[in-house]
């Protein structure tokens, strides 16, 4: 048989180039991304054309979950932790409830009425999931707008210092929940707040698009 001999080729490929690519991508991802914050309350925020990045210092965050329950949280900075402690003292002083201050400070968010706070703080942190909790009563038709009192206390704590009031609402939450939160803000003369949204590109051909094309800086 005149079968030509095929030389056996090595199947080993030089992996250096691939290794380079892999580590280049890795370093890109490490540098451009940020770790997802642990979220006990599942919230999908709507998108807007606002381009200002949400602040992460001196934050007072109000979260509205899909069913309209309201939660309150504050930042985790050293400064914020001190404020949390002050808030705990305020609540104990004015509302006549006693609870573990340390646990109050450690909690990532609060979602119950003042009277339920001691019981709430006894729930282990990992079991404190948004859908299992009652939320701060904010609806004035049922149970009164206690959320307004929470905000009043928070405002007292932040007197004389900067406070970034953020509102993070879920796409599916109904307007009345949003309205009762706004009413609570209004009642406390907190007339400026920011809503957390996902970035979105400006639709082409609109006024804003024309402005940004011209290079005009827009007010946020």
Partner 1 sequence: MAEMDTSSGGGHKKGPGVKKGKKLSTRVDLTPMVDLGFLLITFFIFTTTMSQPTAMKLNLPKDADKPEDQNKAKESGALTVLLGKDNHVFYYEGIMDNSNASSKFKSANFGSGEDGLRMEIMRKKASTPDKDFVVVIKPGAECTYKNVVDALDEMSINDVKRYALVDISDVETKLIQLTEGAAAGAK
Kindly report the backbone phi and psi dihedral angles of residue 187, in degrees, each rounded to the nearest multiple of 5, phi listed first. Answer: -60, -30
**Which residue lies nearer to partner 1 by CB, 87 or 181?**
181
Q: Sheet harboring 70-74: ordered strands across?
A: 70-74, 59-64, 164-169
**Sequence-ordered list of residues with C-beta below 8 angstroms from that of 143, at least 6 positions apart, any chain:** 113, 137
36 SS3 class: coil
Q: In sequence order, which residues have a C-beta less than 8 Å from that of residue 7 and are 6 or more positions away?
A: none
What does the alpha-carbon distance between residue 27 and residue 33 come to, in Å, rounded to a whole number? 10
Residue 193 binds partner 1 (CB under 8 A): yes
Window 43-102: residues binding partner 1 (CB under 8 A): 45-55, 64
Minimum separation from the CB atom of position 100 to partner 1 (A): 32
How many residues form the binding site for partner 1 (CB under 8 A)? 64
162 binds partner 1 (CB under 8 A): no
Q: Is 140 in the site for partner 1 (CB under 8 A)?
A: no
Which one of 36, 78, 93, 214 is in contact with partner 1 (CB under 8 A)? 36
CB-CB contact of 137 with 113 (8 Å):
yes
Minimum distance of partner 1 from residue 155's CB (angstroms):
15
In this chain, which of 62, 138, 157, 166 binds partner 1, going by CB under 8 A? 166
Nearest to 95 by CA among 151, 153, 136: 153
Region from 13-21, 80-88, 100-108, 151-159 binding partner 1, contact rule CB under 8 A: 13-21
**Residue ranges binding partner 1 (CB under 8 A):** 12, 14-16, 18-19, 22-23, 25-26, 29-30, 32-36, 45-55, 64, 166, 169-179, 182, 185-186, 189, 191-200, 202-203, 206-209, 211, 218, 220
């Amino acid at each position: 048989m005149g079968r030509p001999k095929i030389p056996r080729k090595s199947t080993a490929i030089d992996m250096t180039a691939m290794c380079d690519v892999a580590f280049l991508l890795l370093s890109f991802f490490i540098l451009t991304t940020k770790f997802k914050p642990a979220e006990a309350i599942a919230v999908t925020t709507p998108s807007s054309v606002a381009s200002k990045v949400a602040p992460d210092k001196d934050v007072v965050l109000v979260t509205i979950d899909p069913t309209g329950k309201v939660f309150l949280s504050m930042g985790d900075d050293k400064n914020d932790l001190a404020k949390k402690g002050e808030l705990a003292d305020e609540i104990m002083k004015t509302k006549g409830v006693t609870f573990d201050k340390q646990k109050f400070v450690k909690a990532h968010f609060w979602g119950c009425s003042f009277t339920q706070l001691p019981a709430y703080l006894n729930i282990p942190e990992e079991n404190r999931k948004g859908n299992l909790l009652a939320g701060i009563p904010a609806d004035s038709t049922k149970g009164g707008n206690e959320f307004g009192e929470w905000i009043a206390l928070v405002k007292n704590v932040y007197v004389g210092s900067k406070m970034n009031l953020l509102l993070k609402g879920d796409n599916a939450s109904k307007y009345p929940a949003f309205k009762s939160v706004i009413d609570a803000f209004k009642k406390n003369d907190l007339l400026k707040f920011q809503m957390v949204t996902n970035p979105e590109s400006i639709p082409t051909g609109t006024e804003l698009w024309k402005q940004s094309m011209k290079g005009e800086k827009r007010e946020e």
